[in-house]
Each structure stands twice: as C-alpha cells, then as structure tokens.
Amino acid sequence: MNVREATAADEQTLLDFTQAIFAENWDRPWRPPEVTPKLFEGKLVLLAEDDGEAVGYAFGELDPQGYGHVNIVYVRPEFRRKGVTRALLAEFAARAREQGIGHLTLDVATRNVVGREVWRRLGFSEWALRLTAPVERFEEHREPGESYASLHVQTDDREAVEADVDKYLPRFGASNATVEGPRNGWVAVYADLVDRDRRARERLASELSNATAAVVCAIGVEDGAVVRYVLYERGSVVDEYQSVPEHFGPLPPGDVVALGANPTVVSRLTGADPGRVRAVARTASSSDELPPAGELLLQIAEVMGLEGAGRR
C-alpha cells in the first residue's frame, strides 16, 4: 500500500471518487457541492494506491491555528477493511505534525451509526454537535398550523382503558382526558396533551397497548398539514405513517420509505382492506399534493374503522 500526494494527472480519478462517495452516502440536508477541480484547491489531497492502482483518497485542510480537518475519506468498496483508511489518515496526520498541528477533525452524520463507529475505532471522539433546521421554521410570517390527535384502543372494555389512562397520563404531566366508546370495537382517548405533544402521545399509546395487550392507534393532524398515525401491538411500533415524510425536515431515503403505510400490517391489525389502505394512505413531498389534512385523516380513519378520530 502506497500513499502519496495527488498530482494534476490524478484529477479525473479524484473527481470519479468524489462522485462515487456523494452517490453512496450523501445525507446532509443540503445539496452536495458541484464536483469540479475547485473542490481540491488549497487542500491536502492524498491518494492511496495498491500495485499502482488508485484505491482511495483523502483530502482536507491544515489550519495554522492548530488543527487539520479531514473533508472526505473514500475507499473503493472492494478495498475496504484492508487498512486503506488507516493508511490515508496516518499520512494526513504525518503532514499535520510537520506543520505543528496536534489534532484532526472530521464531520460525520448523526444517523451514520456504522461510520461513527469506524471513526471511533480509529481514535476520533465526539467534541461538538452540529444542529440543523429548515430556514422556513424561522420565517416571521409563518404561524404553526393546528395540531390535534386521538388514541384508539382496540377493545370493548372502556373501564379498563379509563383506569390505565388515569394511571399513565399523570406521568406525562397531565391529568385530564376524555375516554369514549367503544365504537366499532375501539375505545377512543382524547386529551390536550395528546393534541399538542407528539412524543407524549406516542409514549402514552405504547403504555396503553402494553397494559391492555391490545392494538392501539395514535392518529392526528400535525401543523395543520400532515397526517400521522402509529400502530402499536403489545407496546411496540408495528406501522408508522406520515403523509408528508419530510415536512419537518430532510430525512435519509430509508426513513422516508419507512413512513409509508404498510397495507398488510394495517389489514392484519384493523381488518381494513389492503387495497383501500394503499389508495388512501398516500405520501407526498408536499401537503399540496394531497387532500387537506383534516379530510385525509378522516379518510384513513374510515378505512381503519376508527370512529371519532382526531377530534372529540
């Protein structure tokens, strides 16, 4: 394994490697930079070779204030787990030491669990956390839309549900709730906390599902634009749906897919026709592509047999 500083003759290889890593795992909430030679201007660019064949590269900057920042490390898939990354970082560190630099830094996405573990094993530790939010969240003219929700427990035993609500609701800092039904085999729970706090709503739904050993559906409208439901069985999430998966910010592609309704699971738990679930519980990139959120909630609730969904 040989690691050397890249030259102008390596330009196309570097561009190809950069395109490859962006295509493989770009998950930042902004577009990747344009892949041109300008990316490497003023940077330390190292190329790893195996028998003269380029197998990976690393580039970054050596800051005179005392740190070196690694922008990208990429290794071709067939050469991974063979020490290429370690060799690239060792050479980067050696160049940093020559300039009196004592620390290397790099960025890794929070959701990139595998990558974080790799960097940890190589000696990096967390020292800061970069946060992100869509700019429209701070636009003065934008007022949050209305949010409301309900919980539905698949049982005819209203008294048992009331007892469990009285037991668990105070743990989330609330005490007032309305329990109605059964209607169509479901007992409904309404509370201000359920309307306004998604995390508390879904934790309460999980507790009720676990306590009653029944299926529970938490369903509601969020920000006046998004319909969301979560189905629980014995306290665990078995299906999760959000009509506009990225309404609250960008998500990795896998998370976007996961927020689509699973007609087979919905059918098993609620008796709904899978074809109707598929037709009604759609997802889109914008709420403008779907019926108004209140209407969509009622459509989904009707398919599942949830009477009185959303509002009491």
Same domain, residue pair 221 and 288: yes
Task: Answer yes or no: do 173 and 262 share one domain.
Answer: yes
| pLDDT band at residue 136 under the 50/70/90 scheme | low
Number of domains in the chain: 2
What value does the mean pLDDT take over residues 222-235?
94
The predicted-structure confidence for 6-22, as pLDDT tens digits, reads as follows: 999 999 999 999 999 99
Say yes or no: 69 and 189 in one domain. no
The alpha carbon dihedral of 230, 298, 198, 187 has a sign of: negative
Q: What is the pLDDT of residue 95?
A: 95
Q: What is the pLDDT of residue 252?
A: 84
Domain span holding position 176: 148-304
250-284 pLDDT, tens digit each: 888 888 889 999 999 999 999 999 999 999 999 99
**Domain boundary, last residue among 67, 86, 121:** 121
> What's the whole-number mean pLDDT along residues 165-180?
88
Helix (H) or strand (E) holding 182: strand 178-183
CA distance 61 to 57: 14
